[in-house]
Amino acid sequence: MRNVKRIAGLLALCLAFAPAADAQRRAATSYPEVDIPYTKTVLDNGLTLIVHEDHKAPIVAVNVWYHVGSKNEPEGRSGFAHLFEHLMFNGSENANDDFFQVLERIGATTLNGTTNEDRTNYFQNVPVSALDTVLWLESDRMGHLLGAIDQAKLDEQRGVVQNEKRQFENQPYAVSYELTTEAVYPDDHPYGHSVIGSMEDLNAASLDDVRDWFQKYYGAANAVVVIAGDITPEVAKQKVEHYFGDIASGPPVARFERWPAKRTGSQRQTVGDRVPQVRIDKVWNVPGAYTREGVMLSLLADVLVSDKASRLYKRLVYDDQTATNVSAYIDAREIGGLFSIEAMVRPGGDAEAVEKAIHEELERLLASGPTDDELGRVRAQHFAGVVRGLERIGGFGGKSDLLARSEVYASDPGAWKSELEWMRTATPAQVQQAGREWLSDGLYTLVIRQFPNFRPAAQGADRSAMPQPGQPPAPQFPAIQTATLSNGLAVVLAERHQVPVVNFSLLVDAGFAADQFAQPGTAALAMGMLDEGTRTRDAIRISTDLARLGATLGSGSNLDVSTVSLSALESNLDASLDLYADVILNPSFPRADFERLQKQQLAQIQREKANPIQLGLRIFPSLLYGETHAYGYPFTGTGTEAAVASLTRDDLARFHQTWFKPNNATIVVVGDTTMNEIRPKLERLFSSWRSGEVPAKNLARVELPPKQRVYLVDKPGAVQSVILGGTLAPPKANPIEPAIEAMNTILGGAFISRLNLNLREDKHWSYGAGTFLPDARAQRPFIAYASVQTDKTKESIQEVVNELRGITADRVVTADEVAMAKANLTLTLPGTWETSNQVAGAIAEIVRFDLPHDYWSQYPGRIRSLAVNDLNRAAVEVVRPGNVTWLIVGDLSLIEKPVRELGLGEVVVLDADGAPAR
């Protein structure tokens, strides 16, 4: 996978609903019917095809699942399933190039591949005109791969995977994954080793291993293809038979049945790591996906931790304040699962007290069971998640992903409905019983079934030439409607009626830049406290009201804007808006909650300082802008420990009073409503909100340094170095922005960009490298970044220098690169506007940067009109290699001398707060 994570159990935990117990709550909450209609076909060669029609956008999702994961790996070959996933991206016999080279040119979005314990999948959303191209590619690597794999490719991807492993292990708390996996499963269990594997096993992988693995597991009969989107089952079947029908079925594959590996007794282990807080993990072996017991246990987990009123969260974070965060969840894999509780102990807190409280709350729940009200709340939250997820056809949690998971794990694309029904009908007694039951030993049984007589078609697709995409569909951004309330509050609306959800986003002209009038971290802490209480509701009441309504509410800031968002079911719109307006207009900033969140923000700062990448991004802004500029604070917005520690509750109230004015805000509405319906509701709720003056933020222009500068931060023992190199570029709203975006796509903004292909694919010194420009109203940073293995720090910096110099001088962009960038920026648009939240985000850009309302309608044409010279001028304007400021975070005992040898400029060593360390 391009990012290896465990995805097991995510969907199974988000698929249920039931009314609350009493009649009043039933009346307040209602649920529409949910379904994913599909057709299922098994081809003559054993390939399973599942098709779902969704004609809301001219895009299709193609999701291919192979029923093979790390649990199929033999001893001594751990990590092989994941390594093979990488190899399958690197070209097949008739398309012998990295598949991203094609996919990023034809408008693919949400494209990736992933591996977990049970399956390997590849997925992408593409314009419907490019479907033949994708099916040809997917079928070519299924049926025609081995001739394209050689020792060079194996060595290249082995290096990439090993750097991915190093990058993961360089993060705080990463040690818990390997230790937990080894502790909870016996040596002979298929889940008894990590997905990414060991360095030794990866080094031992040979070409013969590759051939044997492919021939055993990647036949048509071990695969499921799901196509969802703007297509009919008849057309999909014809295309899949054409491209996949001649592929061999492959041999029979042995399957493990349920093996949860119950344990008895207790195990305890302690490990040291460079982390800012103690974390306590509690893990039990439980049943896996598509089991009634697993569903009951997922409910139990959410009763423990789901919202602020849930038992463990309220006890540890609110009442005792011994932890800054706690979570409970079930990882429901195919043959077994894990039930986990994780608690982050407050810095300086009592770990034993936290552990004691966890046991007390769990024992209390198992003794008496959950209440009807608790079950009602978690059901509403789950169902609201289902409704929102059904808007997406692809990607993690999209409809194609859900159908594929149900088929692979349960041999039934509709199996997810069984979990929904189990959760809908669950009783407190059933949840209680499931929690009590799983303290016993496990059982293993093997059943060998007859293998059907599959046979491939006599003839298949033409492999001499890849099908070219047809005429791409024209991107269509929803029409924008505007209005102004009587108090001056601007309303921007885009209608989306596919699902009964309405999303709101109040954009206040404040953001982290407003901290220049206060202390760094003020905006983040003030926005974090909005839902902690109003004049009539405390935080627990707000949380429970949201849960019963199936609504979500969030708040936060970026550099320029502070945001309060609401996602509401259309059936509960009025009640949800009442709560939303109350949070916006009447925050009470309770003193006790302020002290709790202040401690949490201080703990978050400590965590950021322990993470090499976040540490670099904390320090970098002050180096680029200077400490007095409004943008010179940590990019996270959390501020500094000294500043946050000095804040008072009154500072946050003053932030709200200063910036929250209707004439200083815009509310963006996207979803299942109309202006005639929503404007009177907003007028009723916000008419008493009064306009007033707000401060003018000072975003003065910053001159670039006359020459390069180098800053180093010591991270003893780090196995990777984080490289950041940046200058200041024009604001987001500038006349050459399309050329800047296209140039950045070529240099470092896409997977097939120059910098990533250099450091990841060619040198395999890094898991990923690139360039980006965080949006801003004033000058914004242009940043080149890479996390690289420590012993290649000097060489990697030199490669970044070469790429920055090259695009501005001796290696200017080419016509072919410009064509790639144009395709990347335009053909992806239908996919990037698929959901209401994505549309709201695009409208927020229009509001934040005062862009024309037809900006996104005109955007494709502005990109297509670019010429080579436009991008070369943009490179000269933005990249400025002679003025780069460098920041490297790593083990200075190993990298300082080599970095100084580069001679880039004066070298200064900083501490974790950005102050000179020598």
Q: Please report, rounded to a whole number, the percentage of residues in the chain having pLDDT higher than 70.
A: 95
- Dihedral angle, C-alpha 517, 518, 524, 527, nearest 10 °: -80
Are 877 and 704 in contact by the 8 Å Cβ rule? The answer is no
Q: For 574-589, how does the pLDDT look when each residue is reduced to its tens digit (9 = 90+)?
A: 999 999 999 999 999 9
Query: Comparing 396 with 869, which gets the higher pLDDT?
Result: 869
Query: Taking residues 745-764, what's their average pLDDT?
Result: 95
Q: What is the C-alpha separation between 373 and 577, in angstroms, rounded?
A: 22
Q: For 5-25, how does the pLDDT look when each residue is reduced to its tens digit (9 = 90+)?
A: 332 333 232 332 233 333 333
**Is residue 328's pLDDT more than 50?**
yes
Q: What angle do CA 696, 697, 701 make, to 5 degrees?
A: 125
Q: For 505-515, how does the pLDDT look when each residue is reduced to its tens digit (9 = 90+)?
A: 999 999 999 99
Binned at pLDDT 50, 70 and 90, residue 474 comes out as confident
**Is residue 145's pLDDT more than 90?**
yes
pLDDT score of 455: 84
Binned at pLDDT 50, 70 and 90, residue 442 comes out as very low
Helix/strand/coil for 736: coil
Query: Taking residues 130-151, what's their average pLDDT?
Result: 94
As given in the structure block, the two tokens for residue 785 are 């970044």
Q: For 198-236, how does the pLDDT look when each residue is reduced to its tens digit (9 = 90+)?
A: 889 888 888 898 889 999 999 999 999 999 999 999 999
Query: Taking residues 46-66, what's their average pLDDT?
Result: 96
pLDDT score of 14: 32
**Is residue 188's pLDDT more than 70?**
yes
Q: For 550-580, how does the pLDDT look when each residue is reduced to its tens digit (9 = 90+)?
A: 999 999 999 999 999 999 999 999 999 999 9
Binned at pLDDT 50, 70 and 90, residue 861 comes out as very high
Exposed e or buried b for every residue in 468-482, given b needs 16+ CB within 10 A? ebeebbebebbebbe
Binned at pLDDT 50, 70 and 90, residue 286 comes out as very high
Contacts of 268 (CB under 8 A, 6+ apart): none
Query: Comparing 418 with 448, which gets the higher pLDDT?
Result: 418
Least trusted range by pLDDT, from 439-448, 683-692, 872-881: 439-448
Helix/strand/coil for 866: coil
Q: Please report, rounded to a whole number, the percentage of residues in the chain having pLDDT higher than 90.
A: 74
Query: Taking residues 40-52, what's their average pLDDT?
Result: 97
Q: For 701-714, how does the pLDDT look when each residue is reduced to its tens digit (9 = 90+)?
A: 999 999 999 999 99
Q: For 643-676, how does the pLDDT look when each residue is reduced to its tens digit (9 = 90+)?
A: 999 999 999 999 999 999 999 999 999 999 999 9
Q: What is the chain's mean pLDDT, rounded? A: 91
**Is residue 28's pLDDT more than 50?**
no
Query: Taking residues 64-76, what's their average pLDDT?
Result: 93
pLDDT score of 15: 30
Binned at pLDDT 50, 70 and 90, residue 34 comes out as confident
Label each residue of 28-69 as H, E or C. HCCCCCCCCCCEEEECCCCCEEEEEECCCCCEEEEEEEECCC
Are 495 and 674 in contact by the 8 Å Cβ rule? The answer is yes
Contacts of 159 (CB under 8 A, 6+ apart): 764, 765
**Is residue 523's pLDDT more than 50?**
yes
Contacts of 188 (CB under 8 A, 6+ apart): none
Please give the distance of CA 453 from its chain centroid, rounded to a whole number.
Answer: 42
pLDDT score of 622: 95
Q: What is the C-alpha separation between 608 and 45, in angstroms, rounded?
A: 52
Q: Residue 771's CB: how many other CB atoms inside 10 A?
A: 28
Nearest Cα to Cα of residue 778 among 734, 739, 841: 734
* CA pseudo-torsion sign 837, 107, 766, 96: positive
pLDDT score of 421: 87
